[in-house]
């Protein structure tokens, strides 16, 4: 058994890699920057979803014990049409390398046959491979490593178009722990998991928690849609992605993320991590 993790320098893949390391299961991380951006000591290769000449690279990696790739974790590129290259790569991996198991990182609203990653999900169903689709809600690490990190640190502000929508923020560590199971269990899961955190919080409540952990005032600034799109574009997001993020935030403001479940505990055997635990552990990144 050997696992190929695309999105190899990203929040969830690096955490899955740590779990694989602990379990002594061979893996390779794959992303455009490859080894240059992977955690030191972790095997990594250069791979670009948008350049099919790189598709062979992860399979040229020499795994201990001469293992072949048994399962692939699929993290989409930030592209207007991520499904086409992902489907092409899945077909390549199945036909040329006999891979028969895929775990797809999708979003809250993904559904088979739907837009964007829904097309990849549908394709996995159509070709009859073993699969699992993860549909996590919003990551807690958006505050510590992602989109909100710099503004919390530099301005004491969180900008969104979410209003007072409640979200069961989930940790990338819990998403990784869920992903680990369908990647490595002998029995395929062949299902999707809506991966949710332990409590429903608004962004005002997140700001209050950060204020209390950091001992300084952090506030949530609610923007209307167009203001939010402009702000995201000013920090470098392409227009299609700025619009996409804003539409997700507006949907969350309308209550679309106001849901709870026990998926993390059901799949991993332990409850999901709280936002307070993450804020306490990550304090230094906002100082």
Ligand X SMILES: NC(=O)c1ccc[n+]([C@@H]2O[C@H](COP(=O)([O-])OP(=O)(O)OC[C@H]3O[C@@H](n4cnc5c(N)ncnc54)[C@H](OP(=O)(O)O)[C@@H]3O)[C@@H](O)[C@H]2O)c1
Residues at the interface with ligand X (CB under 6 A) = 7-13, 31-33, 37, 47-50, 75-78, 105, 107, 136, 138-139, 142, 146
> Closest distance between ligand X and the C-beta of residue 15, in Å?
8
**Which CB, 9 or 144, lies closer to ligand X?**
9
For residues 9 and 38, the answer to whether their CB atoms sit within 8 Å is yes
Beta carbon nearer to ligand X, 43 or 128 = 43
**256 by DSSP, 3-state: which?**
coil
Closest CB to ligand X among 37 and 200?
37
**Is-contact 170 197, C-beta < 8 A?**
yes
Quote the CA–CA distance of 134 and 125 in Å, as a whole number: 14
We find the least distance from the C-beta atom of residue 234 to ligand X, in angstroms, to be: 19
Instruction: Give CA–CA dist 177/163, Å, rounded.
Output: 30
Shortest spacing between CB 259 and ligand X, in angstroms: 13
Closer by beta carbon to ligand X, 36 or else 217: 36
Alpha helices by DSSP H, the chain = 11-22, 57-60, 83-97, 117-127, 141-144, 149-155, 172-184, 203-214, 225-234, 239-253, 263-268, 275-282
Distances (CA, A) of 81 to 51, 108, 123, 240: 14, 18, 15, 10
Give the separation between CA 10 and CA 100, rounded to whole angstroms: 24
* Cβ atoms within 10 Å, residue 180: 23
Residue 10 or 163 having the CB closest to ligand X: 10
Q: Which residues have C-beta within 8 Å of that of residue 20, sequence separation ≥ 6? A: 3, 26, 27, 180, 184
Residue 9 DSSP one-character state: T
CB of 116 to ligand X, least distance (A): 9
How near is the Cβ of 139 to ligand X at its closest, in Å?
4
Closest CB to ligand X among 115 and 216?
Answer: 115
Q: Which is nearer to ligand X, 47 or 63 (CB)?
A: 47
Give me the residue whose beta carbon is nearest to ligand X.
Answer: 10
Shortest separation between residue 58's beta carbon and ligand X, angstroms = 11
Q: Nearest distance from residue 181's CB to ligand X, in Å?
A: 17
């Amino acid at each position: 058994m050997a696992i190929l993790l695309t999105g190899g320098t990203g929040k969830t893949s690096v955490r899955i890699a740590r779990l694989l390391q602990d379990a002594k299961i061979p893996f390779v991380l794959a992303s455009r920057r490859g080894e240059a951006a992977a955690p030191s000591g972790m095997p990594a290769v250069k791979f670009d979803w948008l350049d099919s000449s790189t598709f062979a690279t992860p399979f040229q990696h020499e795994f201990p014990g001469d293992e072949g790739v048994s399962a692939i974790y699929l993290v989409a590129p930030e592209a207007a049409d991520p499904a086409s290259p992902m489907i092409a790569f899945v077909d390549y991996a199945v036909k040329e390398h006999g891979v028969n198991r895929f775990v797809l990182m999708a979003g809250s609203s993904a559904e088979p046959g739907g837009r964007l990653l829904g097309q990849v999900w549908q394709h996995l169903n159509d070709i009859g491979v073993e699969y699992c689709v993860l549909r996590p809600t919003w990551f807690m690490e958006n505050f510590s490593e992602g989109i909100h990190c710099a503004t919390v640190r530099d301005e004491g502000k969180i900008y969104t178009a979410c209003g007072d929508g409640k979200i069961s923020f989930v940790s990338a560590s819990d998403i990784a722990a869920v992903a680990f199971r369908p990647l490595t269990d002998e029995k395929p899961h062949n299902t999707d998991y809506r991966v949710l955190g332990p409590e429903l919080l608004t962004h005002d409540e997140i700001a209050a928690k950060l204020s209390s952990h950091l001992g300084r005032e952090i506030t949530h600034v609610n923007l209307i849609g167009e203001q939010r799109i402009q702000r995201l574009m000013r920090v470098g997001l392409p227009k299609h992605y700025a619009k996409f993020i804003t539409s997700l935030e507006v949907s969350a403001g309308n209550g679309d993320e106001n849901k709870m479940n026990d998926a993390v505990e059901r799949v991993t055997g332990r409850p999901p991590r709280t936002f307070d635990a993450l804020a306490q552990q990550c304090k230094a990144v906002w100082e």
